[in-house]
Chain A
């Protein structure tokens, strides 16, 4: 088709009328739109090691389905959030996509009928056997816009824990004793490293959400699993407030660290991914973020992972986390054939085979890996698996606070740099977050 277009313009272009050439383009593009059995897939696996796993999984899915075309696009988290809804509502986007849970992405898309429930597939393939109710609840939205109940709109393939990465060697050099048993220990360790002239916290705030992880991680580590109801209610949209002493206190802690030089010098100018790379190269003692960096972190054997410790007296502190962005089927997959294929694709992505592939690369799958699987579990991953098990047993998996309202992530992004720079007080930040939340509750 292109040969036609090009030859048309390269041949004595003037002889043919320009209108004809224009018609050729339209004809071309329309014919380009008719796709034979193509499954369009978007995901957020933007790091090189996660992209490699996806390439492997996609390759095997294609082997099993030689007759289809897989049109696969990787987007980083920010761009996925930005474009997904727009693309699907325009009628030309992915059939299968990763989508962020919570009111900002999944909630809005369900409200606009841009996602298709996957309950039939759950029953057909038995996904619920591998994943707990409380994890699946994060993908549920009712027709009335209630979060956590109603039809299920997605399922995740990876587990996520936001926790504390620490560099054993840097800690030992500064004379910090392990293990850190309480939040007080963590603070004291940070002080000690600072005194030793080293960087306590590696962080980058220019892109990514490490500040959000740090704030939420610290707040929720102060909540015992037995007291989690207020947090659940808040995130699931039953009401509540961000204006709690715990939120203000953790904002204060983080602000103090930023102001007192506990963060990597220049943290405002580097991205979260940059910070991880620096941390792997040995800079900084701690980094607070999620298990999705396991594949990058394993390059440095000194790096370990633990939950953010709670203060003394909190027996089972919550850890922010849950599951990674959910695999979901969009309204683009209208035809039954496409929908079935989409279901099959997701089924493969949450399969045992996929879980083993993720684990081999050092990542934490949401469903358990069979004991007889032939994988060499990295030390980091075995720490992760142990924590994941105990968190599940204690019902201590917390929430991403940005799920609470459609604009919460933007409100966080707009205000946390001001907090760190000292241009906003902790109370002012919390007031902004709460104002956002209350406005959303009123609009429901």
Chain B
């Protein structure tokens, strides 16, 4: 790397980066390392922690509740990732053909949930789903579907999809906008060429648009998968992991173990596993979803 003309001696360079690094190191990176160490101990928050090595991680392997939370998280991924990405791609393809003004209006509306606090969205949807007072079941009854007016957030079969759909609702507009911006990048002459070749709408979409959108799809997958592993606010405000752990995810489990049952070491281990999962997913998505011209680019 060529030296910047602005570079000077290290001691005076450090003045620029030290304030930021210090506050970051002491309040984020330090605690991350501390969590790693803590996960190797048994600690009730009061007496001195006992060093137990990988004991917590070994216990996790046998912990049914933890596996339940992982399973729930895997199911939630369908709603966090698959639904919004598929829907986003389809809607983007449709919106793409609209006139500028209508396109802008739809983008503005569909993007709206993404800027909201998920905690508050959880509270709002909690009310929408209320079987006695909530609008959702009232609407079902109005259109004659009263038999399907279920106690969504209390029903063991439907509670996970009910929570998941909120996540889909939150993400699909964002995905669509992301894909639209990707389509803007695509060279219009490609479409023209396809047209000359006589390719029709759907074929153009699958053979030209979709492959060229791979970078955006990769980003959307990454973001939504990570969001699903991080999920806490939405579930905390909607169900707190209930009923009977039917919507428990690792982060909620971490919260219960730590701040309610004072098993801080074990809770830290749960949190670390979640963080590791994020790194694994990140790596996997980077490896698996590669733009097909990745070979010639850089």
Are chains A and B native binding partners rather than an unrelated pairing? Answer: yes
Interface residues in chain A, defined as those with a beta carbon under 8 Å from any beta carbon in chain B: 17-19, 22, 82, 86, 89, 112, 205-206, 264-270, 274, 278, 407, 410, 413-415, 417-418, 421, 423
Interface residue? B76 (CB, 8 A) = no
Interface of B is mostly: loop
CB distance from B198 to the nearest CB of A (A): 54
A19-B19, A269-B129, A274-B132 are contacts. A421–B151 as well, Cβ < 8 Å? no
A19: B residues at CB distance < 8 A: 19
B132: A residues at CB distance < 8 A: 264, 266, 269-270, 274, 278
CA distance A87 to B75 in the complex (A): 35
Interface string of B130-141 (1 = CB under 8 A from A): 111100010000
B260: A residues at CB distance < 8 A: 82, 410
Interface residue? B155 (CB, 8 A) = yes
Cβ contact within 8 Å between B149 and A407: no
Interface string of B10-47 (1 = CB under 8 A from A): 00000000010001000000000000000000000110
CB distance from B53 to the nearest CB of A (A): 23
Interface string of B244-278 (1 = CB under 8 A from A): 11000000000000011100000000000000000
A112 interface neighbour in B46, B130, B154, Cβ under 8 Å: B46
A269-B130, A269-B155, A278-B132 are contacts. A18–B261 as well, Cβ < 8 Å? no
CA distance A303 to B151 in the complex (A): 26
A112-B46, A421-B156 are contacts. A266–B243 as well, Cβ < 8 Å? no
A17, A82, A205, A269 — which one has the most chain B CB atoms within 10 A of its CB?
A269
CB distance from B139 to the nearest CB of A (A): 15
Cβ contact within 8 Å between A274 and B130: yes
CA distance A43 to B261 in the complex (A): 22
CB distance from B240 to the nearest CB of A (A): 8
Interface residue? B78 (CB, 8 A) = no
CB distance from B110 to the nearest CB of A (A): 28
Interface residue? B113 (CB, 8 A) = no
A17: B residues at CB distance < 8 A: 19
CA distance A249 to B130 in the complex (A): 31
A89: B residues at CB distance < 8 A: 45-46
Interface residues in chain B, defined as those with a beta carbon under 8 Å from any beta carbon in chain A: 19, 23, 45-46, 129-133, 137, 149-156, 242-245, 259-261
Cβ contact within 8 Å between B19 and A86: no
CA distance A407 to B23 in the complex (A): 38
User: Can you list 28 A-B contacts (CB < 8 A)?
Assistant: A17-B19, A19-B19, A22-B23, A86-B259, A206-B242, A206-B243, A264-B132, A265-B131, A266-B131, A266-B149, A266-B154, A267-B151, A267-B154, A268-B153, A268-B154, A269-B129, A269-B130, A269-B131, A269-B132, A269-B153, A270-B132, A278-B132, A414-B244, A415-B244, A417-B242, A417-B244, A418-B244, A423-B156
B259 interface neighbour in A22, A82, A274, A278, Cβ under 8 Å: A82
CB distance from A146 to the nearest CB of B (A): 21
Cβ contact within 8 Å between B156 and A205: no
Cβ contact within 8 Å between B154 and A205: yes
B130: A residues at CB distance < 8 A: 269-270, 274
Cβ contact within 8 Å between B261 and A205: no
CA distance A205 to B242 in the complex (A): 11
B133: A residues at CB distance < 8 A: 270, 274
Cβ contact within 8 Å between B151 and A270: yes
B149: A residues at CB distance < 8 A: 266
CA distance A278 to B155 in the complex (A): 20
CA distance A270 to B132 in the complex (A): 7
CA distance A205 to B155 in the complex (A): 11
CA distance A273 to B149 in the complex (A): 20
CB distance from B238 to the nearest CB of A (A): 10
Closest to A82 in B: B260
CA distance A178 to B263 in the complex (A): 52
CA distance A331 to B243 in the complex (A): 35
Cβ contact within 8 Å between A269 and B151: yes
A265: B residues at CB distance < 8 A: 131
Closest to A275 in B: B132
CB distance from B165 to the nearest CB of A (A): 15
Question: Lowest 4 A-B CB distances belong to which pairs?
Answer: A268-B154, A269-B151, A266-B131, A417-B243
A206 interface neighbour in B23, B153, B261, Cβ under 8 Å: B153
CB distance from A331 to the nearest CB of B (A): 13
A268: B residues at CB distance < 8 A: 151, 153-155, 243
Closest to B45 in A: A89
A413: B residues at CB distance < 8 A: 242
New contact pairs (13) apart from A82-B260, A268-B151, A423-B156, CB-CB < 8 Å: A22-B23, A205-B154, A206-B243, A266-B132, A266-B137, A266-B149, A266-B151, A269-B131, A269-B152, A269-B153, A269-B154, A414-B245, A418-B244
CA distance A230 to B244 in the complex (A): 29
Closest to A423 in B: B156
A205-B154, A414-B245 are contacts. A270–B131 as well, Cβ < 8 Å? yes
B261: A residues at CB distance < 8 A: 407
Closest to A270 in B: B132
CB distance from A405 to the nearest CB of B (A): 13
CA distance A409 to B150 in the complex (A): 27
CB distance from B163 to the nearest CB of A (A): 13
B243 interface neighbour in A18, A22, A205, A407, Cβ under 8 Å: A205
CA distance A205 to B159 in the complex (A): 14
CB distance from A316 to the nearest CB of B (A): 35
B137: A residues at CB distance < 8 A: 266
CA distance A18 to B149 in the complex (A): 55
CA distance A266 to B45 in the complex (A): 40
A266: B residues at CB distance < 8 A: 131-132, 137, 149-151, 154
B150: A residues at CB distance < 8 A: 266, 269
